[in-house]
Structure 1
Amino acid sequence: MSEVLDEGPFFHGTKADLREGDLLTAGFRSNYRPEIVMNHIYFTALVGGAGLAAELAAGDAEPRVYLVEPTGEFENDPNVTDKKFPGNPTRSYRSAEPIKVVGEVSDWPRLAPEELQAWRDRITVLTAERAEIIN
């Protein structure tokens, strides 16, 4: 058994319409590099981070943030920890095991349109540069 990395609560941002009890699993395309099928499901202990992920997720549906629980072991997300930031200031995690939806969060902080566009522009540059994703 690995040591507990964070007590949560944990959040997942997406454009999918989910229900309490749904299990989110790995095996879907990356929102940032759609040619890559992800081996992990990602989540964070910061509701704002999940909101950003929801806003940037692929598709035209409304962005949504869900309260989730890991069903198995999880680790720090190496795409934003140590490789790019010392430690885990974003409190971002990933798991090869499913995460369970326990509710929807309706009062998460939304980005201003210009902030959201700046993030989209950044993702476009990273995608064009074929930035590495640790899968």
Structure 2
Amino acid sequence: MNKKVFSFHLTITEDELDTLDHVNNVYYLQWVQNAAQKHWDLLSTPDLNKKYVWIVLRHEIDYLQAAKLDDEISVSTWIENVYGVKSERIVEIKKNAKLLARAKTTWCLLDKKAMKPVRIPSEIIKIFKTI
């Protein structure tokens, strides 16, 4: 799949720090979730949101460097793979050019009414390739 990247930026606040004065891992997971939601909100339409909902099947996060108070962070995401009812999303969290963390999340598409997995339709695959 073509790598079409969506990014946003944030600045680390005191509330995000743990007892070691670096960002608590829970916030990295929240940024992974936020990246996916913001990206989907950009791509989706009201019609798609009436028909479908995404759920997480698996998160894998590699923590490589610590983020600290007032660091300016970029969070970038893209769809790495789509197959059947699943998609794999990558999220990279960086300070300047340094990779702080990298996540791979497996998502499953559900029919919103039945709340059952549904094969990812071509209309969704197509929009994953357009931004």
Give your verdict on TM over 0.5: no
More helix by share: 2
Compute the TM-score of the two structures, normalised by the length of structure 2: 0.26
More strand by share: 2
- Bigger radius of gyration: 2
